[in-house]
């Protein structure tokens, strides 16, 4: 397992939020997205390098577009990069994700998930 972990380093501009050396998940969905990205990679749907390349692009574009003082939301970018790599691999496209998101948001209030 150590090899797998070594292989998935994300450093420099695309490093996840760390507090004193620890990766920080601020909400459960963030760890789900992280888990999905790793899971599909382990299944061989894409290489971690392919994912990383997408993440670098997304973070780079967000940095370029950010105004001073804007908050940085790493896992938003992580999710976008995952969606992009899934689209590259024709596993899932953004339109489907948008539709499903709309469908889920229409659930009755109080839905417990």
Partner 1 sequence: MTKPSAQALRAEALESLLTEKGLLSSAQVDEVIATYSEKVGPMNGARLVARAWLEPAFRQQLLADATSIVNDYGFEGGQCEKLVVVENTPEVHNVVVCTLCSCYPWAVLGLPPKWYKEPAYRSRIVREPRQVLNEMGLELTDDVQIRVWDSSAEIRYMVLPMRPADTEVLSQAELETLVTRDSMIGVAQPVGVKG
Contacts to partner 1 by CB under 8 A: 1-2, 4-6, 9, 19-23, 27-36, 38-40, 42-43, 45, 73, 75-76, 79, 82-83, 86, 91-92, 96-97, 100-101, 103-105, 109-113
Considering the complex, what minimum distance in angstroms separates the CB of residue 52 from partner 1?
Answer: 15
Taking Cα atoms as reference points, which of 20, 104, 42, 35 lies closest to residue 75?
Answer: 35
Residue 16 near residue 23 (C-beta atoms within 8 A):
yes
With tokens 């888990």, the residue in question is 35
- The answer to whether residues 18 and 48 touch, using CB atoms and an 8 Å cutoff, is no
Quick one: 20 or 67, whose CB is closer to partner 1?
Answer: 20
Tell me the closest approach of the beta carbon of residue 97 to partner 1, in angstroms: 6
Nearer to partner 1, 66 or 104 (CB): 104
Q: Is 53 helix (H, G, I), strand (E, B) or coil?
A: helix
């Amino acid at each position: 397992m150590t090899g797998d972990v070594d292989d998935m380093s994300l450093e420099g501009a695309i490093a996840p939020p760390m507090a004193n050396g620890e990766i920080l998940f601020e909400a459960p969905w963030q760890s789900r997205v992280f888990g999905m990205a790793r899971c599909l990679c382990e299944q061989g749907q894409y290489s971690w390098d392919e994912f990383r390349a997408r993440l670098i692009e997304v973070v780079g574009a967000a940095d370029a577009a950010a105004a001073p003082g804007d908050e940085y939301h790493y896992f938003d970018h992580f999710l976008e990069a995952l969606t992009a790599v899934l689209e590259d691999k024709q596993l899932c496209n953004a339109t489907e994700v948008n539709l499903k998101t709309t469908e889920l948001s229409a659930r009755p209030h109080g839905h417990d998930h």
